[in-house]
Amino acid sequence: MTVGVFLVDDHPLYLQGLRAALGAGDDFAVVGEALSGKDAVAAVARLGRSVQVVLMDLRMPGMSGVEAIRAITTGPGGPAGHRPRVLVVSMYEDDDEVVAALRAGAHGYVAKEAFRDELLRAVRTVAEGGAVFSPAIAERLGTYFSAIHDFPGRLAFPQLTNREREILDLLARGQTNRRIARHLVLSEKTVRNHVSHIFAKLQVGNRDDAVVRARDAGLGL
Protein backbone atom coordinates (compact mmCIF):
# COMPACT_ATOMS: atom_id res chain seq x y z
CA MET A 1 0.00 0.00 0.00
CA THR A 2 1.26 3.45 -0.88
CA VAL A 3 1.23 5.97 1.98
CA GLY A 4 0.10 9.46 1.00
CA VAL A 5 2.31 12.01 2.74
CA PHE A 6 1.73 15.76 3.07
CA LEU A 7 4.74 18.00 3.82
CA VAL A 8 4.65 21.20 5.87
CA ASP A 9 7.72 23.41 6.29
CA ASP A 10 8.43 27.07 5.63
CA HIS A 11 11.83 26.34 4.03
CA PRO A 12 11.47 25.30 0.36
CA LEU A 13 14.94 23.72 0.30
CA TYR A 14 14.08 21.47 3.20
CA LEU A 15 10.82 20.48 1.49
CA GLN A 16 12.90 19.51 -1.51
CA GLY A 17 15.08 17.35 0.71
CA LEU A 18 12.03 15.66 2.24
CA ARG A 19 10.63 14.90 -1.20
CA ALA A 20 13.94 13.34 -2.21
CA ALA A 21 14.12 11.25 0.98
CA LEU A 22 10.57 9.95 0.57
CA GLY A 23 11.28 9.20 -3.07
CA ALA A 24 13.82 6.62 -1.90
CA GLY A 25 10.95 4.51 -0.55
CA ASP A 26 8.64 2.95 -3.11
CA ASP A 27 5.77 2.87 -0.59
CA PHE A 28 5.40 6.67 -0.26
CA ALA A 29 3.73 9.30 -2.43
CA VAL A 30 3.98 13.02 -1.68
CA VAL A 31 0.41 14.19 -2.27
CA GLY A 32 0.89 17.85 -1.32
CA GLU A 33 2.91 20.40 0.58
CA ALA A 34 2.52 23.77 2.28
CA LEU A 35 4.78 26.53 3.53
CA SER A 36 2.56 27.51 6.46
CA GLY A 37 0.34 25.92 9.08
CA LYS A 38 -2.76 27.73 7.84
CA ASP A 39 -2.29 26.55 4.26
CA ALA A 40 -1.58 23.03 5.50
CA VAL A 41 -4.84 22.78 7.46
CA ALA A 42 -6.88 23.89 4.45
CA ALA A 43 -5.05 21.65 1.98
CA VAL A 44 -5.16 18.53 4.16
CA ALA A 45 -8.90 18.93 4.67
CA ARG A 46 -9.37 19.37 0.91
CA LEU A 47 -7.27 16.32 0.00
CA GLY A 48 -9.12 14.11 2.46
CA ARG A 49 -8.31 10.40 2.47
CA SER A 50 -5.38 10.75 0.07
CA VAL A 51 -3.35 12.03 3.06
CA GLN A 52 -2.40 9.35 5.57
CA VAL A 53 0.57 11.08 7.24
CA VAL A 54 1.47 14.76 7.65
CA LEU A 55 5.12 15.70 8.25
CA MET A 56 4.91 18.92 10.25
CA ASP A 57 7.51 21.52 11.20
CA LEU A 58 6.77 23.43 14.41
CA ARG A 59 8.39 26.83 13.94
CA MET A 60 6.59 28.67 11.17
CA PRO A 61 5.27 32.22 10.75
CA GLY A 62 1.59 32.80 11.45
CA MET A 63 -0.14 29.64 12.62
CA SER A 64 2.39 27.53 14.51
CA GLY A 65 2.94 23.85 13.89
CA VAL A 66 1.29 23.02 17.23
CA GLU A 67 -1.84 24.97 16.26
CA ALA A 68 -1.89 23.30 12.85
CA ILE A 69 -1.55 19.84 14.43
CA ARG A 70 -4.48 20.56 16.73
CA ALA A 71 -6.64 21.74 13.83
CA ILE A 72 -5.78 18.68 11.72
CA THR A 73 -6.24 16.09 14.47
CA THR A 74 -9.26 17.53 16.27
CA GLY A 75 -11.07 19.47 13.54
CA PRO A 76 -13.96 18.21 11.42
CA GLY A 77 -11.57 16.30 9.17
CA GLY A 78 -12.03 15.48 5.52
CA PRO A 79 -14.60 13.12 3.94
CA ALA A 80 -16.34 10.97 6.58
CA GLY A 81 -14.31 12.70 9.26
CA HIS A 82 -10.97 11.28 8.06
CA ARG A 83 -8.02 12.68 10.00
CA PRO A 84 -4.44 11.87 9.00
CA ARG A 85 -1.72 11.07 11.53
CA VAL A 86 0.94 13.69 12.20
CA LEU A 87 4.68 13.20 12.57
CA VAL A 88 6.65 16.24 13.69
CA VAL A 89 9.89 16.76 11.77
CA SER A 90 11.51 19.80 13.32
CA MET A 91 14.63 21.20 14.92
CA TYR A 92 14.62 20.13 18.55
CA GLU A 93 13.67 23.13 20.68
CA ASP A 94 12.68 22.35 24.27
CA ASP A 95 10.77 19.78 26.27
CA ASP A 96 7.68 21.97 26.59
CA GLU A 97 7.38 22.35 22.83
CA VAL A 98 7.58 18.60 22.28
CA VAL A 99 4.91 17.99 24.93
CA ALA A 100 2.70 20.72 23.44
CA ALA A 101 2.91 18.98 20.04
CA LEU A 102 1.94 15.65 21.62
CA ARG A 103 -0.95 17.20 23.50
CA ALA A 104 -2.13 18.73 20.22
CA GLY A 105 -2.30 15.25 18.67
CA ALA A 106 1.11 14.49 17.10
CA HIS A 107 2.04 10.80 16.88
CA GLY A 108 5.81 11.22 16.94
CA TYR A 109 8.75 13.58 16.73
CA VAL A 110 11.83 13.18 14.58
CA ALA A 111 14.65 15.72 14.50
CA LYS A 112 15.40 17.35 11.16
CA GLU A 113 18.96 16.05 11.27
CA ALA A 114 17.73 12.44 11.34
CA PHE A 115 19.18 10.15 8.68
CA ARG A 116 16.97 9.20 5.74
CA ASP A 117 16.43 5.61 6.88
CA GLU A 118 15.34 6.80 10.34
CA LEU A 119 12.86 9.22 8.78
CA LEU A 120 11.39 6.57 6.48
CA ARG A 121 11.01 4.09 9.35
CA ALA A 122 9.28 6.79 11.40
CA VAL A 123 6.79 7.58 8.63
CA ARG A 124 6.00 3.87 8.19
CA THR A 125 5.52 3.39 11.93
CA VAL A 126 3.15 6.34 12.23
CA ALA A 127 1.23 5.29 9.10
CA GLU A 128 0.73 1.84 10.64
CA GLY A 129 -0.76 3.32 13.80
CA GLY A 130 2.33 3.55 16.00
CA ALA A 131 4.23 6.38 17.61
CA VAL A 132 7.92 7.09 17.21
CA PHE A 133 10.57 9.45 18.59
CA SER A 134 14.20 10.08 17.77
CA PRO A 135 16.44 8.51 20.46
CA ALA A 136 17.61 11.88 21.81
CA ILE A 137 14.05 13.18 22.04
CA ALA A 138 12.80 9.99 23.69
CA GLU A 139 15.54 10.32 26.32
CA ARG A 140 14.66 13.96 27.01
CA LEU A 141 10.96 13.11 27.28
CA GLY A 142 11.78 10.42 29.85
CA THR A 143 13.66 12.98 31.91
CA TYR A 144 10.84 15.49 31.47
CA PHE A 145 8.12 13.18 32.74
CA SER A 146 10.30 12.01 35.61
CA ALA A 147 10.53 15.64 36.69
CA ILE A 148 6.76 16.07 36.73
CA HIS A 149 6.67 14.82 40.32
CA ASP A 150 8.99 17.66 41.33
CA PHE A 151 7.18 20.30 39.27
CA PRO A 152 3.55 19.17 38.81
CA GLY A 153 2.43 22.22 36.83
CA ARG A 154 4.55 21.37 33.80
CA LEU A 155 1.86 19.35 32.05
CA ALA A 156 -0.90 21.69 33.14
CA PHE A 157 0.64 24.76 31.49
CA PRO A 158 2.63 23.65 28.42
CA GLN A 159 2.06 27.09 26.87
CA LEU A 160 4.29 28.74 29.49
CA THR A 161 8.05 28.99 29.23
CA ASN A 162 10.18 27.55 32.02
CA ARG A 163 10.77 31.06 33.39
CA GLU A 164 7.06 31.93 33.29
CA ARG A 165 6.19 28.71 35.07
CA GLU A 166 8.82 29.45 37.71
CA ILE A 167 7.35 32.90 38.28
CA LEU A 168 3.81 31.50 38.37
CA ASP A 169 4.92 29.05 41.08
CA LEU A 170 6.29 31.95 43.13
CA LEU A 171 3.08 33.93 42.59
CA ALA A 172 1.15 30.95 43.91
CA ARG A 173 3.39 31.02 46.99
CA GLY A 174 2.26 34.58 47.69
CA GLN A 175 5.44 36.31 46.57
CA THR A 176 5.28 39.95 45.44
CA ASN A 177 6.89 41.11 42.21
CA ARG A 178 9.69 42.70 44.22
CA ARG A 179 10.46 39.50 46.11
CA ILE A 180 10.28 37.45 42.92
CA ALA A 181 12.73 39.84 41.27
CA ARG A 182 15.16 39.47 44.16
CA HIS A 183 14.80 35.71 44.27
CA LEU A 184 15.42 35.27 40.53
CA VAL A 185 17.91 38.15 40.22
CA LEU A 186 15.73 40.01 37.73
CA SER A 187 14.49 43.57 37.48
CA GLU A 188 10.95 44.29 38.68
CA LYS A 189 10.08 45.48 35.19
CA THR A 190 11.15 42.11 33.74
CA VAL A 191 9.02 40.30 36.33
CA ARG A 192 6.02 42.52 35.51
CA ASN A 193 6.43 41.71 31.82
CA HIS A 194 6.54 38.00 32.59
CA VAL A 195 3.45 38.27 34.78
CA SER A 196 1.57 40.03 31.97
CA HIS A 197 2.53 37.25 29.56
CA ILE A 198 1.37 34.66 32.07
CA PHE A 199 -2.02 36.38 32.43
CA ALA A 200 -2.42 36.47 28.65
CA LYS A 201 -1.48 32.82 28.13
CA LEU A 202 -3.68 31.59 30.97
CA GLN A 203 -6.47 33.93 29.84
CA VAL A 204 -6.94 35.39 33.32
CA GLY A 205 -7.52 39.02 34.20
CA ASN A 206 -5.69 39.38 37.49
CA ARG A 207 -3.23 37.95 39.96
CA ASP A 208 -5.82 36.20 42.11
CA ASP A 209 -7.23 34.24 39.19
CA ALA A 210 -3.73 33.22 38.10
CA VAL A 211 -2.95 32.01 41.62
CA VAL A 212 -6.13 29.92 41.71
CA ARG A 213 -5.24 28.29 38.38
CA ALA A 214 -1.70 27.63 39.56
CA ARG A 215 -2.71 26.06 42.88
CA ASP A 216 -5.34 23.90 41.20
CA ALA A 217 -2.48 22.53 39.05
CA GLY A 218 -0.32 21.83 42.08
CA LEU A 219 1.97 24.87 42.04
CA GLY A 220 2.79 26.96 45.09
CA LEU A 221 2.15 24.15 47.53
pLDDT digits (tens, 9 = 90+) for 32-43: 999 999 999 999
Residue ranges of the chain assigned to CATH 3.40.50.2300? 3-142
Summarize the confidence of residues 137-159 as an average pLDDT: 61
Sequence-distant (6+) residues with CB within 8 A of 43 are 6, 32, 34
- What is the predicted pLDDT for the residue at 19? 94
Instruction: Assign a CATH topology to domain 154-216.
Output: Arc Repressor Mutant, subunit A (1.10.10)
Categorize the per-residue pLDDT at 15 as very low, low, confident or very high, splitting at 50, 70 and 90.
very high
Summarize the confidence of residues 76-87 as an average pLDDT: 73
**Structure-derived torsion over alpha carbons of residues 109, 61, 85, 133, reported in degrees to the nearest 10:** 0
Summarize the confidence of residues 139-164 as an average pLDDT: 65
Sequence-distant (6+) residues with CB within 8 A of 181 are 187, 188, 190, 191
Summarize the confidence of residues 207-217 as an average pLDDT: 86
- What is the predicted pLDDT for the residue at 81? 61
Q: Kindly report the three-state secondary structure assignment for every residue of 28-65.
A: EEEEEEECCHHHHHHHHHHHHHHCCEEEECCCCCCCCH
pTM strictly above 0.75: no
Q: Using CB atoms within 10 A of its CB, is residue 203 exposed (0-12), middle (13-18) or buried (19+)?
A: exposed
- What is the predicted pLDDT for the residue at 77? 57
Choosing among 3.40.50.1110, 3.40.50.2000, 3.30.70.20, 3.40.50.2300, the CATH entry for 3-142 is: 3.40.50.2300
Residue ranges of the chain assigned to CATH 1.10.10.10? 154-216
Sequence-distant (6+) residues with CB within 8 A of 168 are 153, 157, 160, 198, 210, 214, 219
CA–CA distance, 172 with 221 (Å, rounded to integer): 8
